Amino acid sequence: MVDIARPQLEGTVAVGEGRRLGFAEFGSAQGRAVFWLHGTPGARRQVPMEARAFAEREHVRLIGIDRPGVGSSTPHRYGAVIDFAEDLRTVADTLGIDQMAVVGLSGGGPYTLAAAYAMPDRVVATGILGGVAPTKGPDAIRSGLMDLAVLAAPVLSAGGVPVGLAASSVIRLARPFASPIIDLYGRLSPEGDRRLLARPEFKAMFLDDLLNGGRKQLSAPFADLVLFARDWGFRVNAVKTPVRWWHGDCDHIIPLRHGQHMVSLLPDAEFHTMHGESHLGGLGMSEEILRSLLDIWDAKEAQAPFGPV
């Protein structure tokens, strides 16, 4: 097993009365800031080792964020996906960040687009890795898995925090078996994800994130599913920030056509098909993804009449 070093900095930021969001920083504290939003489930340390190494090498300030109800974040129920953007704005303000790029994996995708919509003057570029698409409203597209989430949403909404506490208890009990469980998930996954989870550094990252982020509470994944079954609170075509979307053509959780549908709605977007990859494939391309966003940032700075963006 690969040893996983602790982040350079971990802490929490007050984002409202009695509420805090946890964060973990990697790379350079003086570098350009990139927020990395975890999938569903996940927490602040769900950041690939390759991305962490890239951040060190290229002087990037790479920041993972716990959504409410996981890790060090306090439980909270947003009314819609868009509400997360104000919390991220507060985190950025507190950490002294003006301009930023944002990356979102899977369930982190809607929150990434929400941040880009709400802060077009601050979010320079966004990257989506196999992101979830809306299930309600004019931008909606349906699929079997998300249809199940829509059906389960009322039960999850009623269960709230107790469901998350029960899930966390299961994780604590399963802690000695966490590694074999991930191995089993890998064996049951399509070839792309099986190949990625067989890499020691990815397995170690997932174990570290799961066991640290979920040991006290785990209501965030259920809160995500509730919100994904609602209108997001903004239209996809209103996101003007450049978006780069990576999606595996063998994705068994979020179909490829969902990503293609989303990119067709976004005004400034490029679609990158990951051939032979499944749902987690984007994690194995983190260097390419970060480089792509920094290139957009460089181009914007070169065009800015009064200095860096």
Span 3-16, pLDDT tens digits: 788 899 999 999 98
The Cα 89–Cα 98 span in angstroms is: 9
Domain boundaries, the chain: 7-301
Q: Supply the pLDDT for residue 169.
A: 44
Between 72 and 211, residue with greater pLDDT: 72
Residue 260 pLDDT > 90: yes
pLDDT tens-digit readout, 110-120: 999 999 999 99
The Cα 251–Cα 256 span in angstroms is: 6
Q: Supply the pLDDT for residue 145.
A: 66
Residue 36 pLDDT > 50: yes
Share of the chain above pLDDT 70, in %: 84
pLDDT tens-digit readout, 151-207: 655 655 655 545 444 444 444 444 554 577 677 777 778 999 999 999 999 999 988
Residue 215 pLDDT > 90: no
The alpha-helical segments, DSSP class H, found in the chain are 49-58, 84-94, 109-118, 144-174, 178-188, 191-197, 200-213, 220-228, 256-265, 286-303
Q: Supply the pLDDT for residue 170.
A: 46
Q: Supply the pLDDT for residue 147.
A: 63
Confidence of residue 235 (pLDDT cuts 50, 70, 90): very high
Using a 10 angstrom Cβ sphere, with 0-12 exposed, 13-18 middle and 19 or more buried, the burial of residue 287 is middle
* 8 A C-beta contact, residue 114 and residue 233: yes
Q: Supply the pLDDT for residue 214.
A: 62
Q: What is the mean pLDDT of residues 41-52?
A: 95
The Cα 178–Cα 210 span in angstroms is: 9
The Cα 188–Cα 245 span in angstroms is: 26
Q: Supply the pLDDT for residue 168.
A: 47
In CATH terms, the fold of domain 7-301 is Rossmann fold (3.40.50)
